[in-house]
């Protein structure tokens, strides 16, 4: 299936850029006039995915976060958040609610659970030492539906 429209953004893995990423994706999604609830879901899921890339993917190093947002026929919005950080050794385990590798107690381990609640589909591909790609799909209510 070919995308009707697409946009890419690349930015350093600084926590200050999480809000930027959320806004860019929401602005792109707004072009098809989704509901307010859909926009809130998208913003929350993107926030979690980008935060994971910054906090867990790059840990205490600086790298780049790559986002691609595409709109497909039928109102399907697909968001890919990619890092080239440390990767996830066990994706299935990492996606379990309350699982975290954070030793400081600052992280609740709910990022993937939140993404799954807000989006229609969440896929995670990761390779240790090469990075992680989180793909988020959401079927939007578009005008006339």
**What does the domain layout of the chain look like in residue ranges?**
5-139
pTM: 0.88
With contact defined as beta carbons under 8 Å apart, do 78 and 137 qualify? yes
- 52 classed as catalytic: yes
Catalytic residue among 22, 43, 52, 78: 52
Phi/psi of residue 87, nearest 5 degrees:
80, 170
Catalytic residue among 107, 116, 121, 123: 107
Nearest to 69 by CA among 8, 133, 12, 137: 8
- 48 classed as catalytic: yes
- 117 classed as catalytic: no
pLDDT for the residue numbered 141? 86
With contact defined as beta carbons under 8 Å apart, do 21 and 67 qualify? yes
Catalytic residue among 22, 38, 43, 48: 48
Whole-angstrom distance, CA of residue 65 vs CA of residue 80? 10
pLDDT for the residue numbered 20? 96
Whole-angstrom distance, CA of residue 79 vs CA of residue 18? 15
CATH code of 5-139, in short, is 3.30.565.10
Band of residue 70 on the pLDDT scale cut at 50, 70, 90: very high
pLDDT for the residue numbered 102? 54
Q: For 99-140, what is each residue's pLDDT tens digit?
A: 555 555 555 556 688 888 999 999 999 999 999 999 999 999
Average pLDDT for 69-82: 96
């Amino acid at each position: 299936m070919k995308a009707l429209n697409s946009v890419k953004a690349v930015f350093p893995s600084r926590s200050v850029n999480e809000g930027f990423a959320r806004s860019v994706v929401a602005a792109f999604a707004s072009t098809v006039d989704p509901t307010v609830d859909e926009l809130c879901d998208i913003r929350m899921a993107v926030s979690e995915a980008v935060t994971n890339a910054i906090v867990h993917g790059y840990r205490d190093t600086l790298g780049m976060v790559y986002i691609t947002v595409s709109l497909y026929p039928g109102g399907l919005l697909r968001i890919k958040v990619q890092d080239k950080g440390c990767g996830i050794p066990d994706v299935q385990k990492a996606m379990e609610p309350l699982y975290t590798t954070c030793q400081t107690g600052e992280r609740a381990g709910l990022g993937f659970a939140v993404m799954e609640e807000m989006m229609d589909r969440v896929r995670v591909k990761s390779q240790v030492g090469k990075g992680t790609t989180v793909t988020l799909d959401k079927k939007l209510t578009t005008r006339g539906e």
